[in-house]
Amino acid sequence: MGLIGNVIAIAFAGNPALINYDMFVAAFAMLSLFYLILVAFNDSFMGHPIFPVIVDLLNCIFLFCAAVAMAAELGVHSCSNNTYTLHNHLTNGAHDREGRCREEQAATAFLWFAWATWMVSLFFSILDARSGGVNLRGPVRSRGARPAMSQV
């Protein structure tokens, strides 16, 4: 969040939508983390056992999209290459194009790291939800079976 915030702060001509999306993803992940920390310490904040799974899944999707888009738009170039930083729409827009490029490359690496950690969190949320009695498979349909007398 700090790297993307600094990229936004040093811009003199606005920022591309991808940079703004990266800031949204970072803010969403931070707010989600506050919710999930509360849930980890007190289950009464959970609401429904599926909410942590949904929050983790949304973070995984958002972070994956941000990391892929940032890596694709930046490409694999040297930030010392003046021609590259001048003609790339992400790196151009600040007086220190090389510094902006390096911050964007670091932010891309952190987005991938954050995606990996949220995937681990999603795995454990699914395990916790399954042990908590949440049916993640949908409704079970019986093929004309009648209920037993004890179920009536």
pLDDT tens, 67-97? 999 999 998 889 999 999 999 989 998 899 9
- Name the CA radius of gyration of the chain, rounded: 22
pLDDT for 14 equals 85
104 burial level (CB within 10 Å; 0-12, 13-18, 19+): buried
What is the three-class DSSP state of 152? coil
pLDDT for 5 equals 94
Do residues 90 and 104 lie in contact, with contact meaning Cβ atoms separated by under 8 Å? Answer: yes
- Residues 91 and 87: their CA atoms lie apart, in Å, by 8
- Residues 30 and 22: their CA atoms lie apart, in Å, by 12
pLDDT digits (tens, 9 = 90+) for 103-138: 999 999 999 999 999 999 999 999 988 886 565 565
Token output for 84: 């590259």
| Domain residue ranges in the chain | 2-133
Token output for 48: 């429904």
Beta bridge partners of 11: 94
Do residues 100 and 10 lie in contact, with contact meaning Cβ atoms separated by under 8 Å? Answer: yes
Number of H helices, E strands in the chain: 5, 0
pLDDT digits (tens, 9 = 90+) for 19-56: 999 999 999 999 999 999 998 888 888 888 889 999 99
This prediction has a pTM of 0.82
Which helix H or strand E contains 149, and what residues bound it? none
- Residues 60 and 39: their CA atoms lie apart, in Å, by 18
